[in-house]
Amino acid sequence: MIKPDYSQKVPERLGTVHFIGIGGAGMSGIARLVIGAGHQVTGSDVRDSPNIAQLRELGAKIHIGHDADKLGNPDTVVVTSALWTHNPELVEAISRGLPILHRSALLAHLASKAKLISVAGAHGKTTSTGMVITALHELGADPSFVNGGVISAYGASSGFGAGEHFVIEADESDSSFLHYKTAVALITNVDPDHLDHFGSLEAFQAEFAKFANAASELVVISSDDPGAVAVRELLTHPRVMTFGQSAEADLRVVNLDSSGPKVRFGLSYQGTEVFLELTIAGEHNALNAAGAVCTLVGLGFDFEASCRGVELFAGTERRFQLHGEVRGVCVYDDFAHHPTEVAAALRGARATVGSGKLITVFQPHLYSRTRIFAKEFAEALALSDQVVITDVYAAREDPEPGVTGETISSRFKDEKKVHYVASWDDVPAKAAQLAARG
């Protein structure tokens, strides 16, 4: 994993821009913006993906695999924290003395002339960002945006708009969210994560407080999440708005019904109550919607119109996304990779399936997270009827001896509901064996 280096100034002329690891949600979104700004884009990644296919259609030249000989002749190179320092294209770029920008530095540059709305938090960032973007479009604001997932209604994770607002999903994992010139900071929650980077919960919370206090106009933060409440106490910002189910929240969630496939609830603000029914499930999405609406009214938009705009949000890819139904078995995909996210996704899944059977296939993400939260993962996954756990997706980390998917499966109290299947190739057969109509 490489650490972001913000000492490199953004060149006045970007020229041809090469993205190492271009297929990721954040990198592909920024690459799309750079193409839209009229630059030639090249890139590489370890595997093909729909994101890469879309970029190729827009004219990007992308090769699969990392090879120094394939770097080409770019004027600027963009990297992500997920890269290793020995990546051959990165090593070649350094040897040539090329300008090398962390993706967040380039994004900060692209958004520098707009009113920047930065959405941060351990969970719910992608959905909340998508809700703000959708509502701003409906309100006629035409924002620019970069999200961490493809917004279903637009078929893209980024876009340039003609309006004054720029909305981004701000990544806290490597502290890069501190480097944006944020006008409005929305913090969904501050559940402990990325402790391998921050070292302690206190340091994690302090970083969020630093991010929020730097916002030039407004901070919007959860009134319910314990971590967010702790961060709220660290804030010195003159304008803070809160949202949630708490009686003290500026914008309250009331009459919540998350028992079905579409969450239903009211939002109460300054004596006015508006009823919403989202197209997506889960109590967590009602809270995401509340944060989005709170941000919009804080920006000066009409409360009811903001609610109606958020209500039109139709989801993002890999956030409880239905892929199809075969012989009465529905298959969904969700990016949940923290115990709190997993539990929220599974409560939404339970509401969707009703009296049917809930089978969860889980691939742990990161060795450090698997080791730190093994017990919590087991407790969250136990909300399912049956669970298949496979081995860890390493992402940016080296393997840790003794840390596997079995680190989680061995923590289950009911051994009959969990199945450890080390090889991903063997997972579909096991899931099919467990599945039946309904």
Q: Which of 163, 161, 176, 84 is nearest to 125 (CA)?
A: 176
Burial category of 361 from C-beta neighbours within 10 Å (exposed 0-12, middle 13-18, buried 19 and up): buried
Transcribe 351-402 into DSSP letters.
HHHTTS--EEEE--B-HHHHHHTHHHHHHHHTTSSEEEE---B-TTS---TT
Q: Spot the catalytic one: 126, 134, 188, 390.
A: 126
Residue 236 designated active-site: no
Give the dihedral sign, CA 249/252/256/262.
Answer: negative
Residues 32, 15 contacting (CB under 8 angstroms): no
Unique residue bearing structure tokens 């609830």:
265
Residues 28, 10 contacting (CB under 8 angstroms): no
Residue 210 designated active-site: no
Q: Spot the catalytic one: 80, 134, 169, 207.
A: 169
Distance CA 45, CA 350 (A): 36
Q: Please name the residues in contact with 58: beta carbons below 8 A apart, sequence gap of 6 or more.
A: 32, 35
Residues 406, 438 contacting (CB under 8 angstroms): no
For the chain, count helices (H), then strands (E).
15, 20
Q: Which of 155, 173, 54, 205 is nearest to 103 (CA)?
A: 173
What SS3 class is residue 327?
A: coil
Q: Please name the residues in contact with 222: beta carbons below 8 A apart, sequence gap of 6 or more.
A: 121, 187, 188, 189, 228, 229, 242, 243, 244, 287, 291
Q: Where are the alpha helices (DSSP H) in 8-158?
A: 25-36, 50-57, 88-96, 103-110, 125-138
Distance CA 235, CA 316 (A): 31
Q: Spot the catalytic one: 125, 182, 207, 242.
A: 125
Residue 169 designated active-site: yes
H-helix or E-strand containing 326? strand 321-326
The count of C-alpha atoms lying within 13 angstroms of the C-alpha of 13, restricted to the half-sphere facing its C-beta, is 4
Q: How many CB atoms lie within 10 A of CB 236?
A: 8
The residues annotated as belonging to the active site are 125-126, 169
